[in-house]
Amino acid sequence: MKLAYWMYTGPAHIGTLRIASSFKNVHAIMHAPLGDDYFNVMRSMLEREREYTPVTTSVVDRNVLARGSQEKVIDNITRKDKEEKPDLIILTPTCTSSILQEDLQNFVERASIDSVADVLLADVNHYRVTELQAADKTLYQIVKFYIDKNAKTKNLELKKTKIPSINLIGISTLGFHNNHDTRELKKLFSNLGININCIFPQGAKVKDLRNLPIAWFNILPYREIGILTSKFLKREFEVSSITMLPMGNIEFNKFILKISNFLTFKNEINFILNFINKNTRKLLNLNWIKRELKSNQNRKKAIIFGSSNHVATLAKMLSKEIGIEIILCGTYCKSDSQWFREQVQNYCNEILITEDHTVIGNQISKLKPDVIFGTQMERHIGKRLNIPCGVISSPIHIQNFPLGYKPMVGYEGAKYLMDLIYNTLNLKNKKNTFSLFKEKITIT
Amino acid sequence: MSQLEKSSLTFQCETGNYHTFCPISCVAWLYQKIEDSFFLVIGTKTCGYFLQNSMGVMIFAEPRYAMAELEESDISAQLNDYEELKRLCLQIKNDRNPSVIVFIGTCTTEIIKMDLEGIAPKLEVEVGIPIVVARANGLDYAFTQGEDTVLASLIQRCPTEFIEKKEKTQTFFSNLNLFTKNKENLESEKNLKSLPLILFGSLPELIANQLQLELENQNIKIAGWLPTKTYLELPTIEEGYYVCGVNPFLSRTATNLIRRRKCKLISAPFPIGPDGTRAWIEKICSIFNIEPNGLEERENNIWKSLESYLPLVKGKSVFFMGDNLLELSLARFLIRCGMIVPEIGIPYLDKRYQEAEINLLEETCKKMNVPLPLIIEKPDNYAQLKRIEKYRPDLVITGMANANPLEARGINTKWSVEFTFAQIHGFTNARDILELVTRSLRRKNYVQSFCEKELVE
């Protein structure tokens, strides 16, 4: 047992539900007690969703405890099949059903005989994986299922597209600025003359998955969700992936160069190189922010904490592009810690990998940075210690699901980040000036 | 809706596939009410995730609650429950030093059959802090019933013997309250002896005081309230005492008071809305043979003060999807306000505990000459949404999972949870209920002029 108040990542079934509800016409049925369907509330509130969340519960109550679910789960699956006519139903185990150890796989097999929809059991162990790992696993499971299924019926599309094309993998519901990022990437690819073959899971239909092999390569902006899928596609169809978050100028330009490696014609590559030059010069001259920061004081100190992906990329950006000293860099993605260490070790003084918010809280109060970039929890720690904080990663609140266009990636994303960084840094200065004046005013 | 024409209330039961909060959410308001308590929820990440998100910003205010998060080794019994809990309790004692620790049992502790009731008494001696066990799990209960399980367990901790010292502190406190009363009341106050009446149900301090004052105006002074502001002040409950509930979801607490403490339950409608409050006070008065004084006038005055809201709701229909057990009382009040209620969904209905409320609901319908509502226990949300589509009520009172999608379909909604946290009891708070109910109706009137009604594909 451990005493806990706050978690950075949710339980495994949240990951599965995030993937299931991202797809179109996929329904998830949770094997859970009453009240465990809080996911619906979160999605409806945070995403301000207009559709009913396609998640229902096959309720585990006293009777189930005594006699087992018996026909209940199967009935619920076939009933949903008739009511909603989904393409796929995912039976989602929860912590409760993990302990009950009912043979859910058997339910799935029996239910799929009667239902038109495909039925799958999400294969996640509740006590061993987090929300993000479960999401990764579920996505892989669905992709594999449909690739295999279509391979069997010889419906798989294998011929590469004529025009260069990509799959965009890992965009999901309740992801941090995912929808804005997608829009920005779409715009980018259309400028580069690259077709988007499939964006999934968000907005995709499972029947589109048979087209995955025809793309020239995959793009994975978020390494938390999609790595397993990309490995699978590489293994089966030799489709390679670019796994990086194109956040900040240097990373973004690297991203585009990597893309150019995948292209075959010279003039396409030249076009891209020109594209980089033109845009970098025009938009992203960061000297002003450097100058601004230098003129005021010494090198600013920052602490960054959040998901491995966003933290690592932001650390590089702050350190290389703006010249902020990063005194501590941390993540709660324990499963990804090796990658994280490799990425950030040259850019920060200290690395912290923890899931305990009090550890990071203590570090912040000990090291006293000028600025924090973190999750909502760090924002509140900052509030208590009077240190400004910019939110750069999940877990997040409704204010981090902005309606306005706020991508984190690409050129537009770089602009947004500049605003975020500059405003966060300056907030403290302005506050100090205010209190300086206040004293003078009270004298008069 | 052919059921509507029937002359008596119709009760039905559906599949129980509905959205509601997990009952462990009761820690959110109970830790605030009982100021020297600490709530330890013994469960998994799923429970923690729910609390973390449902409590919103409260989670950042160093709440006096925590999760004892069960890990794989706990489930497979590789670790000793007793030792683990002891370690956590000592840690809590060190950090916070509460007067009581409340263990909240969850689905997981039920399934792995962790004997919390057995562990608690031993642990209590060893740690030196009272430990109360409440099994507020999603296998058995819905949302507000969590409070019911906690209060039911607190009953056994209420002292039996009347303690002299306590009497003194009570008069001391009532002296402190002097400024709220005028002089004539003061005179009678001195003669007013507390009647053997205990009220139960957790209300914010302000509301509890208001209700107490309403009773004092009828020369009724109560002997105590469960729960109290602190654990150490829990009221004395003696055999033969009368008890009366202030909330409709406290049937377990009522049963325990009757069976374990040999109390007599006053079955009254609940003090929600001016009609409910009046009926509640009248019923209590009748038990103690007190002629109610000026109640009718008080109720009428309240209705008069609501005049600006009533035209907004009159003739409008309201559909309760059901998730917090306040539905019957709210529906009864809204019918009295002139609304029409086609359906009342409710997670669980104790017909004995809510008997007076059900009767008042039926009476109100006849008085207002509206069709009797269909009462659906353990509703099925999918079937309900179909009925809503067909009936298209003016307002749906529902959870947050369905609110946004319904709004997108041009149906006004009100989040049901707000009724749990808003102050809705007593004469003076009737306005708050209508404020909540009319909010989306008012917004609609305002927005309709320049907005498309349905925005869903």
Q: What's the pLDDT tens digit per position in B256-277? A: 999 999 999 999 999 999 999 9
pLDDT the model gives residue A267: 63
User: Using the beta-carbon criterion (under 8 Å), do A126 and B44 form an inter-chain contact?
Assistant: yes
Partner-chain contact A126 B111, CB within 8 Å: no
- From the list A7, A33, A127, the residue facing B48 with the nearest CB is A7
- CATH number 3.40.50.720 is the correct assignment for the domain at A165-273: no
State the pLDDT confidence band at A428, using cuts at 50, 70 and 90: low
Task: Give the tens place of pLDDT for each residue, A247-274.
Answer: 988 888 889 888 888 887 666 667 777 7
Q: Do A37 and B91 touch (CB under 8 A)?
A: no
Write down all domains in chain B, each with its CATH number in brackets.
23-141 (3.40.50.1980), 197-288 (3.40.50.1980), 296-448 (3.40.50.1980)
A161, with CB counted inside 10 A (0-12, 13-18, 19+), is middle
* Greater pLDDT, A411 or A287: A411
Q: Which residues of A touch B45 (CB under 8 A)?
A: 7, 10-11, 95, 126
As beta bridge partners, residue B244 has: B199
Q: What is the pTM of this model?
A: 0.90
pLDDT on residue B164: 46
Question: Which residues of B carry a binding-site annotation?
Answer: 22, 47, 107
Chain B environment of A50 (Cβ under 8 Å):
404-405, 408, 455-456
Most B CBs within 10 A among A5, A34, A80, hence the mutation to make, goes to A34
Domain ranges of chain A: 12-153, 165-273, 287-433
Nearest to A38 among B50, B92, B402 (CB): B50
Any B CB within 8 A of A99 CB? yes
Residue in the block written with tokens 């995730």:
B49
Region A102-125 average pLDDT: 94
A75 in contact with B, Cβ within 8 Å: no
Within 8 A by CB and 6+ apart from A9, the residues are A130, A131, A132, A332, A333, A355, A395
SS3 content of chain B, % helix, strand, coil (to 5): 50, 15, 35
CB contact under 8 A, A33 and B401: no
Q: What is the pLDDT of residue A430?
A: 61
The Cα of B144 is separated from the nearest Cα of chain A by a number of Å equal to 12
> Helices B45-54 and B26-33, interaxial angle, to 10°?
60
Give the homologous superfamily in CATH for domain A12-153. Nitrogenase molybdenum iron protein domain (3.40.50.1980)
Residues of A in contact with B65 (CB under 8 A): 5
CB contact under 8 A, B456 and A50: yes
A3/B92 CB distance under 8 A: yes
Contact state of A10 with B49 under an 8 Å Cβ cutoff: yes
Is A1 close to B88, i.e. CB distance below 8 A? yes
Give the contacts of A92 (CB within 8 A, at least 6 positions apart).
A13, A16, A17, A20, A28, A29, A30, A31, A32, A122
- B88: nearest CB among A3, A33, A37: A3
pLDDT digits (tens, 9 = 90+) for B418-427: 999 889 999 9
Q: A65 contacts in B (CB within 8 Å)?
A: 110-111, 139
CA distance A178 to chain B (A): 20
Q: What tens-digit pLDDT sequence spans chain B (457 residues)?
A: 444 444 678 999 999 999 999 999 999 899 999 999 999 999 999 999 998 888 776 666 778 899 999 988 888 888 889 999 999 999 999 999 999 999 999 999 999 999 999 999 999 999 999 999 999 999 999 999 999 999 999 999 999 875 544 444 444 444 444 444 444 444 445 556 778 999 999 999 999 999 999 999 999 999 999 999 999 999 999 999 999 999 999 999 999 999 999 999 999 999 999 999 999 999 999 999 999 989 999 999 999 999 999 999 999 999 999 999 999 999 999 999 999 999 999 999 999 999 999 999 999 999 999 999 999 999 999 999 999 999 999 999 998 899 999 999 989 999 999 999 889 999 999 999 999 999 888 877 766 655 555 555 5
- Residue list for the binding site of B for [4Fe-4S] cluster: 22, 47, 107
Cβ neighbours for B213, distance < 8 A, ≥ 6 positions apart: B180
Q: What is the pLDDT of residue A193?
A: 85
List chain B residues with CB under 8 Å of A3: 66-69, 88, 91-92
Q: Flag whether the ipTM exceeds 0.90.
A: no
B-interface mutation test, from A9, A38, A383, most B Cβ less than 10 A away:
A38
Same CATH fold, A165-273 and A12-153?
A: yes
Q: What are the CA-CA distances from residue A255 to residues A176, A309, A393, B390 (Å)?
A: 20, 15, 21, 53
The answer, for A46 touching chain B at a CB cutoff of 8 Å, is no
Contacts of A94 in chain B (CB under 8 A): 46
Cβ contact A35–B142 (<8 Å): yes
Name every chain B residue with its beta carbon within 8 A of the beta carbon of A76. Answer: 17
Cα–chain-centroid distance for residue B296?
26
Residue B68 CA to residue B82 CA, distance in Å, equals 13
User: For tokens 């001391």, what's the residue?
Assistant: B172
Question: What is the assigned CATH class of domain A287-433?
Answer: alpha beta
B49 contacts in chain A (CB < 8 Å): 7, 10-11, 14, 38
Question: Which tokens belong to B335?
Answer: 């019918």
Q: Give the closest-approach CA distance of A380 to chain B in angstroms.
A: 7
Cβ distance of B52 and A6 shorter than 8 Å: yes
Amino acid identity, position A43: R
Distance CA B207, CA B203 (A): 6
- The pLDDT, as a whole number, for residue A249 is 82
- Those residues whose C-beta lies under 8 Å from the C-beta of residue A436, and which sit 6 or more positions away, are none
| Whether pLDDT at A444 is above 50 | no
Instruction: Look at A4 and B67 and tell me if their CB atoms are within 8 Å.
Output: yes
Of A5, A34, A127, the CB nearest to B75: A127
